[in-house]
Amino acid sequence: MNEVLPLARLMQGNEAIAEGALAAGARFFAGYPITPSTEIAEILAEKLPLLGGRFIQMEDEIASMAAVIGASLAGIKSLTATSGPGFSLKQENIGFAVIAEIPCVVVNVQRYGPSTGIPTAPAQGDVMQARWGTHGDHPAIALCPASVQEAFTLTVQAFNLSEKFRTPVILLTDEVIGHLRERVVLPGPGELPVINRKKPPAGLKVYYPYRPDADGVPPMANFCEGYRYHVTGLVHDESGFPSTSPDVAERLMIRLNNKIMNNLDEIILTESFLTEDAEIAVIAYGAVSRSARRAVKEARAAGIKVGLFRPVTIWPFPEREVAELSGRVRALLVPEMNLGQLKLEVERSAGHGAKVAGLCKVNGELITPGEILEAIRQL
């Protein structure tokens, strides 16, 4: 279908996510409608059947996450999309995907919470939920688009990372980006790299589904393709069968962590704007980074040396980049639509470098360039 689309289109963020998923090769969606993510389900309900893919509206959010894992294990790239309360419901099964190493993508179009909150209002309150939402100790990958174009490319990237590292990847966006309409240039066929999970070689006598290669990632056989094996949410050894051995448990947890933490260069994406000579840096992500960019331009026009640093990957957090930045500027400003969730990470990473200030707004409205400019002037 992408071939028939014009290369440049006016598109909504949620639509770009749906198109990005198709471009990445996703052919299975299971979900439960929730504002403000619903358009993703609606668009895929229309397009997937025409592409030979499969769409199913499940009975609830939990079932949707379960079905996505099942379909991925059966060999089809799969995703679900949700918003705040739905993301909470999916958490247990996201943890299952982490320990069982099932690639899949979970889109969370953040809305105002907790609970039903303001369903139609933007917020960035799920930053920590994306990191620590499920139980246990585990790594997380979350990407945060700031434009409709990026909603498309980062969805492809989310699939690529999930397939490469055999892990669920969260596309953590927000209501503003989800419902924003912008011009998007779609890449031509083959222009964006698409990564598929590595398979074990055919003809192995014994396949160990959890025996990692040097990169820490085990090759993945799909169900019903010849290698029969056991998948469980219990701690398991390389054969996939449960174990309560302290050694096995420790090795598994450390490998799950290391396969992400040893590959940060591939996972962490950031963007810097006018930070080279900056005395102050604004660290902003998602929709707020758009206001921040405008504020930086206005501050520069007023003679204030300020730049913008944007974590595109917010988990794992770009600690090294923020530490380096904090050594060069006198102050860091973190505007966000919550009471300071990512600011905690910035403070941790900045160490004894620059002073860290927050600009928090929790009234269900986007932070404006004027508000950020005012905060810059106060520093």
Give residues in contact with another protein (CB under 8 A): 28, 30, 49-50, 52, 54, 56, 58-60, 62-64, 66-76, 78, 92-93, 96, 223-226, 228-234, 241-242
- Least distance in angstroms from the C-beta of 160 to another protein: 20
Cβ proximity to another protein: between 225 and 277 the closer is 225
Asked if residues 267 and 346 have their Cβ atoms less than 8 Å apart, the reply is no
Give the tokens for residue 312: 């595109």
Tokens 């963020």 locate to 13
- Pairwise CA distance, residues 214 & 125, whole Å: 37
Q: Are 130 and 94 in contact (CB under 8 A)?
A: no
Residue 68 CB, nearest distance to another protein (Å)?
Answer: 6
Q: Give the strand pairing for 54-57 and 28-31.
A: parallel
Cβ atoms 82, 34 nearer than 8 A? yes
Given the structure tokens 């596309």, which residue do they identify?
Answer: 171
- Residue nearer to another protein on the CB measure, 105 or 375: 105
Q: Which is nearer to another protein, 4 or 214 (CB)?
A: 4
Give min distance, CB of 251 to another protein, in A: 20
Supply the minimum distance, in Å, between the C-beta of residue 352 and another protein.
43
Residue located via tokens 């139980």: 135
Query: Across the strands, what pairs with 50?
Result: none
Quote the least distance from Cβ 106 to another protein, whole Å.
14
Give the angle subtended at the CA of 271 by the CAs of 335 and 95, to the nearest 5°.
75
For the record, the structure tokens of 23 come out as 């471009």
132 vs 241, beta carbon nearer another protein = 241
Q: Which is nearer to another protein, 56 or 128 (CB)?
A: 56
Taking alpha carbons only, the member of 146, 197, 144 closest to residue 172 is 144
256 and 117 Cβ atoms separated by less than 8 Å: no
CB of 314 to another protein, least distance (A): 27
Q: Distance between CA 105 and CA 86 in Å, rounded?
A: 14
Residue 225: CB minimum distance to another protein, A: 8
* Contact indicator for 100, 230 with CB cutoff of 8 Å: no
Q: For another protein, which is the closer residue by CB, 56 or 362?
A: 56
Closer residue to another protein in complex, CB, 95/340:
95
